[in-house]
């Protein structure tokens, strides 16, 4: 026997009411997610701080360094790299924007580019008139930086370093480090060592990965994490081939860079601010609106 229209209607109303009951959980879930976000950030910050104090690392440094060395040796071209003419054409302006410094500031200044990779920023800083000390753990990176920056070689110094070991104090006008400290295995120690290179009153620029905070950012980072899992057991050569096949020659480098190194730390801006204040920096600010933090600061001169 078929159901009467009245019963059908009653059932539909009951189902809708139950559905609304689940919808009423939404505000609770939103509040809970926000709370958990903060709680995870706090726990991660505590872990980083204790690793810093105890000078601990993750044990994944060798893989991460080898991945970057492979990348610079075998995948040196792609979007936003020296082979990208439009990126290079806008590089000086881009550096002024991310450092918050006018182009007149650079001539004659001494800058250290910590974790220089194949030297795209070293090149731009030299182009702006600075003297540059370009440093990296990777031999291949330094060789390519030397080639790229050959037109400015009188103002270029190259140094092979391991940032976590490089405690020396220096007095550069600008300590610049783009996309490096979050790959070292002890982010706070790496930040401290970059900070030590800025002299009193000297400036600091850091690009540090940010935690995702909105849907496109979660989607992007989840995509990286999924692909990282997929390639986990492949050799570096096999990863390169997969990126080329899947994303093509222009984008392969970017994907390899995002998923092949095992160490990819992500911080909130508030955490970076706390750390830089503790390390004696002031005027801490973000220069551009982006998920990854482009942070500038000034080293406080000593109190007389
Ligand atoms: C994502 S790349 C950024 C390169 C460059 N700053 C750029 O933006 O083109 C990270 C660089 O950090 C370097 N690096 C990673 N760990 C390091 C360490 N412990 N000491 C020195 N350099 C390190 C890698 O070799 C790599 O060149």
How much is the pLDDT for 110? 98
Average pLDDT for residues 164-171, to the nearest whole number? 97
Q: How far is the CA of 117 from the centre of ligand 1 (A)?
A: 5
Task: Determine the Cα–Cα distance for residues 262 and 257; give it in Å rounded to an integer.
Answer: 10
Band the pLDDT of 19: cuts 50, 70, 90: confident
pLDDT, mean over the chain = 95
Determine what percent of the chain is predicted with pLDDT higher than 70: 100
Q: pLDDT, tens digit, for every residue of 246-303?
A: 999 999 999 999 999 999 999 999 999 999 999 999 999 999 999 999 999 999 987 7
Q: How far is the CA of 208 from the centre of ligand 1 (A)?
A: 12
How much is the pLDDT for 244? 97
Task: Determine the Cα–Cα distance for residues 148 and 82; give it in Å rounded to an integer.
Answer: 8
Give the tokens for residue 256.
Answer: 């390899």
Residue 1 clears pLDDT 70, i.e. is over it: no
pTM of the complete model: 0.92
How much is the pLDDT for 280? 97
Q: pLDDT, tens digit, for every residue of 194-229?
A: 999 999 999 999 999 999 999 999 999 999 999 999
How much is the pLDDT for 11? 87
Helix, coil or strand: residue 60: coil
Indicate the top mutation candidate among 80, 112, 117 to test ligand 1's pocket, ranked by most ligand atoms within 8 A of CB. 117
Average pLDDT for residues 83-94, to the nearest whole number? 98
* Residue list, ligand 1 pocket, CB within 6 Å: 65, 68, 115-117, 120-121, 136-138, 141, 161-164, 178-180, 183-184, 257
Which runs of consecutive H residues, i.e. helices, occur in 232-268? 236-259
Task: Determine the Cα–Cα distance for residues 167 and 163; give it in Å rounded to an integer.
Answer: 8
Which residues are within 8 A (CB) of 66 and not within 5 positions of it... i.e. 6 or more apart?
Answer: 236
Q: How far is the CA of 172 from the centre of ligand 1 (A)?
A: 19
How much is the pLDDT for 7? 85
Indicate the top mutation candidate among 71, 72, 91, 183 to test ligand 1's pocket, ranked by most ligand atoms within 8 A of CB. 183
Strand 156-160 and strand 281-286: the pairing is: unpaired
- Domain 60-299: CATH class, spelled out: alpha beta
């Amino acid at each position: 026997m078929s159901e009467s229209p009245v019963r059908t209607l009653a059932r539909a109303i009951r189902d809708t009411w139950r559905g609304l009951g689940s919808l009423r959980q939404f505000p609770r879930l939103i509040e809970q997610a926000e709370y958990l976000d903060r709680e995870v950030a706090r726990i991660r910050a505590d872990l980083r701080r204790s690793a810093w104090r105890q000078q601990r690392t993750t044990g994944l440094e060798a893989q991460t360094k080898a991945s970057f060395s492979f990348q610079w040796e075998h995948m040196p071209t792609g979007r936003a790299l020296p082979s990208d003419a439009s990126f290079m054409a806008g590089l000086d302006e881009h550096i002024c924007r991310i450092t918050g410094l006018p182009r007149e500031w650079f001539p004659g200044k001494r800058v250290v580019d910590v974790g220089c990779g194949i030297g795209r920023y070293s090149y731009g800083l030299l182009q702006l008139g600075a003297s540059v000390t370009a440093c990296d753990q990777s031999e291949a990176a330094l060789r390519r930086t030397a080639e790229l920056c050959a037109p400015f070689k009188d103002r270029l110094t190259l140094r092979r370093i391991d940032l976590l070991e490089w405690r020396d104090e220096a007095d550069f006008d600008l300590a610049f480090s783009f996309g490096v400290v979050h790959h070292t295995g002890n982010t706070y120690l790496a930040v401290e060592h970059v900070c030590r290179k800025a002299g009193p009153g000297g400036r600091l620029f850091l690009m540090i990965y940010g935690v995702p905070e909105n849907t496109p950012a979660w989607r992007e980072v989840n995509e990286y994490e999924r692909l990282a899992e997929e390639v986990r057991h492949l050799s570096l050569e096999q990863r390169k081939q997969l990126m080329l096949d899947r994303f093509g020659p222009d984008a392969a480098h970017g994907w390899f860079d995002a998923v092949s190194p095992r160490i990819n730390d992500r911080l909130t801006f508030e955490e970076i601010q706390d750390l830089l204040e503790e390390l004696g920096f002031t005027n801490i600010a973000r220069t551009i609106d982006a998920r990854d933090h482009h942070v500038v600061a000034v080293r406080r001169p000593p109190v007389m």
